[in-house]
Structure 1
Amino acid sequence: MFFAFLCTDKPGHLNVRMETRPPHVEWLNGLNAAGTLKMAGPFLDEDGKPCGSLVIVSAETIEAAREISAADPYAKAGLFEKVEVKPYNWIFNNPEA
């Protein structure tokens, strides 16, 4: 089953995002190598600067997806104001369909 992480950065925390980006990318690369990561990327504000994240993973349960989300170095660094973990039904352009 797929799950989407809808992550909203805390205002004024772009520096935290940039400082934590290398371990975040390493974490995503590990999920990708394991076949867990399906897609990921930042949301952008009006100025084109990152202000949140969308991450879609494959997991057995929502609890497992929440554990994956909590392991994100961005989450551990306190970057996010809010994280929603929602079941996701990938209909269009799903390469696995």
Structure 2
Amino acid sequence: MLFALLCKDKPDHLNVRMETRPAHVEYLNKLNAEGALKMAGPFLDGEGKPCGTLAIMHADTIEAAKALADGDPYAKAGLFESVDIKPFNWVFNNPEA
């Protein structure tokens, strides 16, 4: 099953994002190699600066998707103000369909 992780950064935490980015990218590369990560990228604010994250993950349950979200170095660093996890049905432009 796919899950969309919609993560909103805390205000004025761009420095946390940038400092933690190498560990975050390493984590996502690991999830990608394991087949759990389907796509990911940052949301951008009006100035083009990252202000959140959208990730589509494969997991058996919403609890497993939450564990993947909790394992992200961004989450561990306290970057996110909120993380919303929703079941997701990839209908259009799904490369696996």
Give the distance between the partners of 1:22 and 1:53, measured in 2 at CA: 15
Extract unaligned runs of 5+ from structure 1.
none
Match of 2:41 in 1: 41
CA–CA separation in structure 1 for the residues paired with 2:96 and 2:79 = 32
Identical-pair percentage: 72
TM-score normalized by the length of structure 1: 0.99
The 1-side partners of 2:57 and 2:7 are apart by 14
1:19 to partner: Cα distance: 0.1
Alignment of 1:1-97 (within 5 A): 1-97=1-97
Give the count of matched residue pairs. 97
Shift of 1:23: 0.2
Distance 1:62 1:43 in 2: 22
Moved over 4 A (4+): none
Task: Provide the alpha-carbon RMSD of the alignment.
Answer: 0.3
Could you say what secondary structure the match of 2:55 adopts? strand
